[in-house]
Amino acid sequence: MKTKIAVFYGGKLSEKVESFVKAGEKLGVEVEAISYDEIYIDSEEKTDGKMLIKFKSGKKLEDYGVIYFKFVKHYREEASLIMDCIDDEVRVVDSILRRGRPSDFCKIHQMKAMADAGLNVPRWVMGRLKFLRYEAIKKFEYPLILKGSQGDRRSQVFKFFNDASWDKGWEVFSEREVNEGQRYMLQEYIVNTEDYRVMVLGDRVLGVMKRATGDNPLLKNVFTKTELPDYVLEKAVAAAKACEIEVAGVDVVFKEGVKEPYFWEVNRAPNYTRFEEVTGINVAEEIVKFLVSLLK
């Protein structure tokens, strides 16, 4: 049985990536952090007539039973090549990476996947910018949200209060649509006083923290440890499963006057620094425990 776990990362080796190796040492399992810079393919180097991923360090891809792609955003081609060279028995986290479709990581895909799974999501319409501005707008009332399908909440989520709001960023929106392939959706604005981040590992919830709400942008980084009812946690796990993400940060909100939760986003490989500070949970260790369970 393959007993090694590979954690692929991009850029410099960070303390966060090293923490997976240390967690492996503590748990008695071999976890190796591997940079995408280490891999290459040479058309003259074949195994059984096939070109395979090679490592500058001499490591062998076939030694790993579980592969965790900690970072993918700028390394999708490398990740796809790695998956082309492994068999079906190797567990890949997150499993959505097996598809190899860049669109699977986009917000619109996630919203559709969650809605198809019967989960509550804000009302949304996807389409070209001109369609959204002049046609789809008729289905909504202000305020509303314009959301780019790629990018984070800070840079690609815009709140509009009236028709004039479109003018402020129209040139930038249009340029991104034409030149960068950015796609947009209109989304209903949900008034909420309860905004949560649920950390999910496979079939279980690791913990929950509540984000402070209000118009002050600084409140977005204010969190407190909290709990949610079991039926909400079950739906958070279902949201992660619908998006085929095993290590997930699920954003949950409650619409005013509605008991059932709404889901905004499922974050793949979420930044868990604040979560650790708030909950005291060693997330890297818990992730390694989960990866070990996949080996078994």
What is the secondary structure of 89-103 as a DSSP string? TSEEESGGGGT--GG
Q: What is the mean pLDDT of residues 169-193?
A: 91
Task: Give the tokens for residue 17.
Answer: 């990536």
Please count the other Cβ atoms lying within 10 Å of the Cβ belonging to residue 229.
10
Distance of CA 92 to the CA centre of its chain: 15
- Indicate whether 271 pLDDT > 70: yes
CA distance to 94, 181, 269, per residue, from 8 (Å): 12, 27, 12
| pLDDT of res. 151 | 66
Q: Which residues contact 191 (CB under 8 A, 6 or more apart)?
A: 255, 256
For 107-141, what is each residue's pLDDT tens digit? 889 999 999 999 999 999 999 999 999 999 999 99
Tokens 């620094």 belong to 273
Domains and CATH numbers, the chain: 4-94 (3.40.50), 123-188 (3.30.1490), 195-268 (3.30.470.20)
Cis peptide before 229 (omega within 30 of 0): no
pLDDT of residue 241: 96
* Cβ-based neighbour number of residue 20 at 10 Å: 23
Hey, what are 9's tokens? 């990362």
On the question of pLDDT at 218 being above 70, the answer is no
Rounded Cα distance between 272 and 257, Å, is 30
At 172 the pLDDT is 92
Helix, strand, coil abundance in the chain, percent, nearest 5 = 40, 25, 35
**Per-residue model confidence (pLDDT) at position 88:** 87
Quote the pLDDT of residue 221: 74
Average pLDDT value for residue range 7-12: 92
With a threshold of 0.75, does the pTM exceed it?
Answer: yes
- Average pLDDT on 23-42 reads 94
User: Is 70 exceeded by the pLDDT of residue 26?
Assistant: yes
* pLDDT average, residue stretch 135-151: 91
Q: How far is CA 49 from CA 43, 46, 52, 62, 187, in A?
A: 10, 5, 9, 16, 51
pLDDT confidence tier of residue 216, bands split at 50, 70 and 90:
low
> Which pLDDT does position 259 carry in this prediction?
86
> Which helix or strand (DSSP H or E) is residue 291 part of?
helix 283-295
**At residue 162, does pLDDT exceed 70?**
yes
Residue 203 confidence (pLDDT): 95
pLDDT at 102 over 70: no
Which pLDDT value is given to residue 98?
86
Exposure b/e, 32-42, CB count within 10 A at least 16 = b: bbbbbeebeee
- pLDDT tens string 229-256: 999 999 999 999 999 999 999 999 988 7
- Model pLDDT, residue 197: 95
Task: Indicate the helix (H) or strand (E) that contains 15.
Answer: helix 15-27
pLDDT at 219: 65
Q: What is the DSSP letter of 191?
A: P
Q: Is 207 exposed, middle or buried (0-12, 13-18, 19+ CB in 10 A)?
A: buried
Query: What's the rounded Cα separation, in Å, for the pair 18 and 32?
Result: 9
- Of 166, 41, 186, the C-alpha closest to 125 is 186
Q: Name residue 47's beta-bridge partners.
A: 50
Q: Find out whether 42 and 31 touch, Cβ atoms under 8 Å.
A: no
